[in-house]
């Protein structure tokens, strides 16, 4: 994706929304655009509608995971304030449904992707269960302190499981293209974010 395109998306959102929301929504829009570009190279109809819906939902959830991950790089536990709990719940709900799709279509997806050589059905289910096990405790945590603590390892592993879902659905070749192009695009977005902050939130170039 061209730098100018990323700047246009980000700048457009900044005129109407705060920095946090603009970053999250730009991340998602870029991700979906790269999905479409990579998949279209292989011809229309390659990915079933149900799988395409999962890809879009994962793009949405991964984008909302980004701010939490930025804190996870600096501490063992991320403190999540009560107003962000719905976002966190949506992320884990998407993790559950997307992993369920992979497990339900394990054999069919295995014809295109070699993920099954490293992951068994039970292994995928066990890791997902581990990631979701703390969710029932969130309400009681909030009652005590108006926030919750989420392990940084949980957030990082959640990102990895989303990557597994993408890999399983897209196949190695398309996933590798997506990952490479996504890394470049996100580096560009991070640069524009830094410029925006350094220029006192007035302009980005």
Using the 8-state DSSP alphabet, how is residue 118 labeled?
T
Report CA 99 to chain centroid distance, whole Å. 13
pLDDT band at 40 (very low <50, low <70, confident <90, very high): low
Query: Which carries the bigger pLDDT value, residue 160 or residue 195?
Result: 160
The separation between CA 156 and the C-alpha centre of its own chain, rounded to angstroms, equals 11
- Rounded to whole angstroms, the Cα distance separating 169 from 108 reads 10
- Kindly indicate the confidence band of residue 204, based on its pLDDT and cuts at 50, 70 and 90: very low
Question: CA geometry: angle at 47 spanning 43 and 52, to 5°?
Answer: 120
Q: Would you give the DSSP letter of residue 126? A: H
**What percent of the chain stands above pLDDT 70?**
94
d(CA 44, CA 34): 15
Q: What average pLDDT does the structure give for the chain?
A: 87
Residue 99 burial (CB count, 10 A) = 23
Q: Model confidence at 116, in pLDDT bands (50, 70, 90)?
A: confident
Whether the full predicted model's pTM is greater than 0.75, yes or no, is yes
């Amino acid at each position: 994706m061209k730098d100018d395109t990323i700047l246009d998306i980000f700048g457009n959102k900044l005129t109407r929304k705060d920095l946090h929301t603009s970053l999250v929504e730009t991340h998602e829009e870029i991700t979906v655009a790269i999905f479409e570009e990579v998949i279209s190279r292989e011809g229309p109809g390659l990915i079933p509608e149900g799988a395409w819906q999962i890809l879009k939902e994962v793009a949405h959830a991964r984008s909302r995971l980004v701010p939490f991950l930025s804190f996870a790089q600096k501490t063992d536990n991320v403190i999540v304030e009560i107003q962000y709990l719905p976002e966190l719940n949506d992320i884990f709900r998407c993790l559950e449904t997307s992993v369920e799709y992979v497990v339900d279509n394990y054999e069919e997806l295995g014809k295109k992707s070699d993920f099954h050589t490293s992951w068994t059905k039970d292994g995928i289910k066990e890791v997902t269960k581990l990631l979701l096990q703390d969710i029932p405790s969130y309400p009681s945590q909030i009652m005590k302190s108006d926030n919750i603590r989420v392990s940084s390892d949980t957030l990082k592993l959640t990102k990895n499981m989303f990557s597994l879902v993408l890999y399983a659905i897209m196949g190695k070749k398309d996933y590798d293209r997506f990952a490479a192009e996504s890394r470049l695009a996100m580096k560009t977005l991070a640069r524009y974010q830094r410029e925006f902050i350094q220029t006192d939130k007035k302009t980005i170039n």
